[in-house]
Structure 1
Amino acid sequence: MNWDDLRVFLAVARAEGLSGAAPRLRLDPATAGRRIARLEQSLGAVLFARSPQGYTLTEAGQRLLPRAEAAEAALAEGLEAGDGAGRLSGTIRIGAPDGCANYLLPQVCAAIGAVHPDLDIQILALPRVVNLSRREADLAITVSAPATQRLSAERLSDYRLSLAASTDWLARHGTPESPEALKGARMIGYIPDMIFDAELDYLAAFGVTRVPMASNAVSVQLNLARAGAGLAIVHDFALPAAPGLVRVLPDQVRLTRTFWLVTHAGPRDARLDRFTTLLREGMRTEIARLEALVG
């Protein structure tokens, strides 16, 4: 059994199939399938149950998985120790809600990439929770801590949200006199049945039951507000990127939420630990900088 075969095993286990694993391995699916068959033959055990829906780990495969992951971590740590320049390399994928992915991660990751030019950083922006258990990403930023012990979470940073509208909309419709007035106002928000985390249900606290202008994406909501479509709850850190929007009732409508940094539980390679430290520091600094711009 060699590392190259274990690498193929890990990719197929994480993608739950040959087609999903092949691009990351830079192999065609047929070659990946032959490598899995070779590994199974050398071990004398069937590692995957094959079906039209994909590849599922058997009991033997589940027993091999933590050993393969430990070998992966040890190899990465050895390569990191041998890097005389101390630069990070390889590929790291971050999953994040689209507000964070659009308005925070580009600046943070650009700064990290400038210092570590051999590192490939991938930002997976999704209007849902990134599934680390299925290896969609190496780490994730979420708005709630996960409930499973298979993942590890740490509090990353609080962030603020405010009510905002375009100056044009306010000139035409006037400024609401109190939070109670939002019940009858033209609101912008999430598509109600696509709110994937209770922490994102901002409008429920104000008794708003109808959202006439809605999107599952924060960036679309922000642009709807800029276009004069109504009032929206927006991230303070996004306001510097949205000229023409102003905060409304800033002393009365002020929400605070928390970003969590989520990783796989258990041993982690030194390279990912170093990247996580840089990400943590960069995120906290960038949130503080942007929020200071809007007061």
Structure 2
Amino acid sequence: MTPNWDDMRVFLAVAREESLSSAGRILKIDPATVGRRIARLEGSLDAQLFTKSQQGYILTTAGERLLDHGLQAEEAMRAAAGAVVGSTESLSGQIRIGAPDGSANYLLPQVCAKISDANPDLDIQILALPRIINLSRREADMAVTVSAPTAGKLLVQKVSDYKLHLVAAQDYLDRHAPIQTVEDLKAHRLIGYIPDMIFDRELDYLNDLGIDRVALASNSVPVQLRQAALGAGICVAHDFTLPFHPNLRRLLTDQVSLTRSFHLVRHQGDQRNERLNRFAQALTRGIRDEVARLEAEAGT
């Protein structure tokens, strides 16, 4: 028996969320109904699609096979909707963007607010995660990344370069020994990422500076910056974050100046989706303009 699209939508939601209740919240139906729909789908296919574990609902081998076909069907439905919606002047529906929490906190809110102003019927969701977004499972429609992925059927577009520098609160600098060289950093408290949770080589800033100990660590950029702003130590900060933390001062700018790049990554199957193409254009333009504005305000 061929699954209907409604049942497939429920299956995809559970596969992504690994939870009946989370899938129900997304689909706006109660968890019991989600469970019944999955049971009905399993019955129609005569196959078990999930196993329940402490981690949640995990796909079986049969479920993994169905997932591939479900994602293809979803891409086809999105393309069809995009062809229709894209022909209108204003965007509508829902679009989810995945991003590292630095850009998700300091760039995307204002960029997405402007896009929302121009498209009042569009629902924009920002998925902020300190890890790589899994586009293959449709965690998001597109993702902002630091490194350009080289594997998978993906569309990759460079969006913008951005600068990073060492920073500390003036209060911290007043209470500690002067910092005149990179070597002086070893006598100071450093704030950075949890070493074994750095999900992208491009984020391993302190290791590149020869720093092998991080006294205060977090997998979250806003947490690191908050600690630095409170005078707890020195960290590497995106220059575009500094207007939000006016008490932070850049250090050793003539010796340490890092450049990284944002990329926009999308499903290859969406390249003919006019709706997502238009949104991607607005998003890349907005990120590029916002990085330039904030870096200029920071004095870069």
In the alignment, is residue 185 of structure 1 matched against residue 188 of structure 2?
Answer: yes
Match of 2:281 among 273, 277, 280: 277
Q: How far 1:38 moved relative to its partner? A: 4.1
- 2:49 paired with 1:48: yes
Tell me which residue corresponds to 1:148.
Answer: 151
- How far is 1:209 from its partner? 2.0
1:109 is aligned, of 112, 115, 119, to 112
- What is the CA distance between 1:68 and its match in structure 2? 4.1
Q: How does 1:214-225 map to 2 (within 5 A)?
A: 214-225=217-228
Structure-2 separation of matches of 1:68 and 1:193:
34
Aligned 8 A contact 2:14 2:57 in 1: no
Q: Aligned residues: percent identity? A: 56
Q: Given the superposition, is the C-alpha separation of residues 49 and 224 from structure 1 closer, same or farther in structure 2, using an over 3 Å criterion?
A: closer
Q: Is the 8 A contact 1:182 1:206 kept in 2?
A: no
Alignment-mate amino acid for residue 187 of structure 2:
G
Which of 3, 9, 12 aligns to 2:11? It is 9
Does the 8 Å CA contact 1:80/1:86 hold for their aligned counterparts? Answer: no
Q: In 2, Cα distance between the equivalents of 1:249 and 1:127? A: 27
Task: State the shift of 1:159 in Å.
Answer: 1.0
The answer on whether the counterparts of 2:82 and 2:276 sit within 8 Å (CA) in structure 1 is no
**Aligned AA (1:239):** L
How far is 1:160 from its partner? 0.7
Q: Distance in 1 between matches of 2:82 and 2:157?
A: 24
Matched, 1:254 2:257: yes
Q: Within 2, Cα distance between the matches of 1:157 and 1:128?
A: 20
- 1:18 equivalent to 2:20? Answer yes
Shifted more, 210-219 versus 97-106: the winner is 210-219
SS in 1 for 2:269: coil
Q: Is the 8 A contact 1:183 1:209 kept in 2?
A: no
Moved more, 276-285 or 163-172: 163-172
Partner amino acid for 2:36? Answer: R
List aligned pairs for 1:113-192, cutoff 5 A.
113-192=116-195
Displacement of 1:71 in angstroms is: 4.2
State the alpha-carbon separation in 2 of the partners of residues 31 and 100 from structure 1.
37
Structure 1 runs not aligned, ≥5 long: none
Question: Is residue 90 of structure 2 the alignment partner of residue 87 of structure 1?
Answer: yes
8 Å contact kept, 2:169–2:248: yes
